């Protein structure tokens, strides 16, 4: 299966999301994308990329190639295929994942398409990866992360390593994106691996 679901929510770290999209598209994956209003706001604030949620155009993300393989779904469209377990995917990533979204997923709320698609991935025992980028973490956030991990999700905080001696922000972003791709089973060589 080449279909991957990506949800972008309102946590800081839009650069991780856009780079993940670039890498998935260059790996010839079809990406089912859904963006929350707060996610669109963070894309604008951090990267200057204006995403119109009602009339989305993948070119607004500034992707160089493969944008035709993005299938956009409005965050309130419960009729989207990714809202059903009968639609097969190879996994889902919420990147960045706000603590509100993580809480909604961990507690099965499904108040929007991002949460519903995540719920589907958990119930179908498909790969679900959440990429929170928040600090510090309180006991409520940690309990929600544990609950999600216990349900089969992968909690992959945006915590880049430094053993590969990064020189740029792009290298730090690539470290995290490479770890996400490892979890999805997408072969990439974005940063030097430990011991290599």
Residue with tokens 């990406």: 31
pLDDT digits (tens, 9 = 90+) for 78-131: 999 999 999 999 999 999 999 999 999 999 999 999 999 999 999 999 999 999
Residue 17 confidence (pLDDT): 97
* DSSP state at residue 33: E
Helix (H, G, I), strand (E, B) or coil at 35: strand
Helix (H, G, I), strand (E, B) or coil at 11: coil
> CA 40, 45, 25 angle in degrees (round to 5)?
55
Nearest alpha-carbon partner for 102 in 45, 52, 153: 153
Q: Can you read off the two tokens belonging to residue 191? A: 């940063």
How sure is the predictor about 190, in pLDDT bands with cuts at 50, 70 and 90? confident
What mean pLDDT is predicted for residues 135-159?
97
pLDDT digits (tens, 9 = 90+) for 2-52: 899 999 999 999 999 999 999 999 999 999 999 999 999 999 999 999 999
Nearest alpha-carbon partner for 17 in 103, 4, 121, 84: 4
Query: What distance in Å separates the CA atoms of residue 96 and residue 79, rounded to the nearest whole number?
Result: 24
Boundaries of every domain in the chain: 3-184
Contact 79, 124 (CB under 8 A): no
| 3-184 CATH | 3.40.50.1950
């Amino acid at each position: 299966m080449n279909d991957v679901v990506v949800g972008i929510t309102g946590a800081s770290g839009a650069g991780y999301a856009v780079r993940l999209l670039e890498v998935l598209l260059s790996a010839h994956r079809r990406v089912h994308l859904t963006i929350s209003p707060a996610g669109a706001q963070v894309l604008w604030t951090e990267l200057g990329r204006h995403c119109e949620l009602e009339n989305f155009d993948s070119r607004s993300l500034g992707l160089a190639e493969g944008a035709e393989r993005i299938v956009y779904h409005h965050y309130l469209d419960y009729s989207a295929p990714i809202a059903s377990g009968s639609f097969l995917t190879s996994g889902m990533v919420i990147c960045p994942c706000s603590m509100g979204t993580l809480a909604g997923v961990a507690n099965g709320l499904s108040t929007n398409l991002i949460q519903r698609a995540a719920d589907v991935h958990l119930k179908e025992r498909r790969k679900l990866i959440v990429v929170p980028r928040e600090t510090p973490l309180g006991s409520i956030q940690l309990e929600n992360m544990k609950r999600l991990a216990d349900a089969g999700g992968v909690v992959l905080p945006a915590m880049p390593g430094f053993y590969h001696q990064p020189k740029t922000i792009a290298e730090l972003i690539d470290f995290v994106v490479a770890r996400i791709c490892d979890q999805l089973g997408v072969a990439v060589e974005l940063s030097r691996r430990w011991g290599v």
